[in-house]
Amino acid sequence: MAYDEFIVTARADRSKTTGKRFWYGVADSFFRRWPLYLLPLVLLIGVGVMQARHVTAQYRSVGVLNVATNPLLATTPLGNTSAYGFETPATATTRMINEQLRTDVFVRSVAEGAGLKAALDQHVVTLNDVRSRVGAGSAGDRLLTISASWPDARTATQLVNSTIKAYTDHVLEVETSQSSAAVTYWTDLAEGYTQDVADAQKKVEDYVVAHPEPKIGDRSTDETLALSYLTAAVTQAQAQLSTTVGKIADAKLNTQQATSQTTEGLQVVDPAEVPSAPQALHRTQALAVAVYLLLGLLLVVLMLFVSALLDRAVRSADDIDLATGLAVVATVPSIAALSRRVERQVSPNEPGLTNA
């Protein structure tokens, strides 16, 4: 009769067995207390199942954009080369839309554009609800999709369109910000210059009224000089005003050009349509269960590692060898454990075991 438990192998290289001893400890800990370790896993799977049961049907709406160029990237000195390497216009725009979706301002504008302002104000819907259900993804070098899922089909469609509009507005705002500022600046100046012209003209008129032209002969030299001085002031004010008006026109032209470039660069290929049927629930439900399953597995692994690290009990001959340097000269199996094995292994024809 020979059992593995009786065999004491020669001492192995300690440096090579330390890792295996640890993993053996992990396995031993698991098989000794497997109900304890499986309990959190089962509980978390149960939570996942409960979550999956509460998953509601979602309508998914998708819009497709064609990005000829990325206006924002075009303004950078590196063109389409981002800090992460070369990006296609679709990839860059997708990244930017998803980045914008992380900001509350952008998400709020998307939600309000989709008609969810009242729900937001009443805290029926949160910004995170919107954020988690809207996203962008590239579909090639120039195409990108913006999708939204919502229990209501129309809201899902509105979310997609609102996201497209919000991003377009964002790009326009960035692109036209300088020219818009210039328009504002020059417009403010023009108002002043207009007043200056009016004032200068009024002074001329007042002077002419106060010093009417003589019926006989010419104006005196002093009047002529004063009048020419006032007339020159009017001319100067009008020239300033004229220059300013030109600047305003240039700034407005720039705005128009930027707007045109942006709208040409971001074209809606397929507008979002109202979905006719909700998405299949199986995938969402499976995902919910899988997430909790993964969490449970991570927890079990953590518990096993902690248990193996904290367990100082002697588990093998190597433990004694490492602790004391003494060799294990015999290993006595647990009586109960071996009795079961003997009952399983002994056959009537096996010599030497029938008398056991």
Strand partners, 143: 66
**Options 5, 129, 196, 250; binder of other proteins; rule CB under 8 A:** 5
From the list 83, 216, 277, 330, which residue makes contact with other proteins (rule: CB under 8 A)?
Answer: 330
Choice between 74 and 306, CB closer to other proteins: 306
140: left (phi over 0), alpha (psi -120 to 50) or beta: left
| Dihedral in degrees, nearest 10, Cα atoms 204, 209, 211, 215 | 120
Cα atoms found within 13 Å of the Cα of residue 208, Cβ hemisphere only: 9
Binding of other proteins at residue 339 (CB under 8 A)? yes
Q: Tell me the site size for other proteins, rule CB under 8 A.
A: 48
Say whether residue 282 binds other proteins (CB under 8 A): no
Cβ–Cβ contacts within 10 Å for residue 210, how many? Answer: 8
Considering only the stretches 85-93, 123-131, 204-212, 319-327, report the one whose residues sit in contact with other proteins under the rule CB under 8 A. 319-327
Does 15 bind other proteins (CB under 8 A)? Our answer is: no
> Closest Cα partner for 272 from 187, 108, 160, 352?
160
Q: Give whichever of 7 and 78 is closer to other proteins, judged by the CB atom.
A: 7
Q: Check residue 334 for interaction with other proteins (CB under 8 A).
A: yes
Nearest to residue 167, comparing CAs of 190, 185, 144, 186?
144
Task: Please report how close the Cβ of residue 16 comes to other proteins at its closest, in angstroms.
Answer: 7
Contact call for residue 349 and other proteins (CB under 8 A): no
Continuous segment of H or E residues that includes residue 268: strand 266-270
Q: Whose Cβ is closer to other proteins: residue 31's or residue 84's?
A: 31
Binding span for other proteins by CB under 8 A among 3-11, 67-75, 112-120, 258-266: 3-11
* Gap between the Cα atoms of 241 and 93, Å rounded: 42
* Residue 30 · residue 356 · CB < 8 Å: no
314 binds other proteins (CB under 8 A): yes
Question: Residue numbers of the site for other proteins (CB under 8 A)?
Answer: 1, 3-6, 8-9, 12-13, 16-17, 20-21, 23-24, 27-28, 31-32, 312-315, 317-320, 322-324, 326-339, 342-343, 355-356
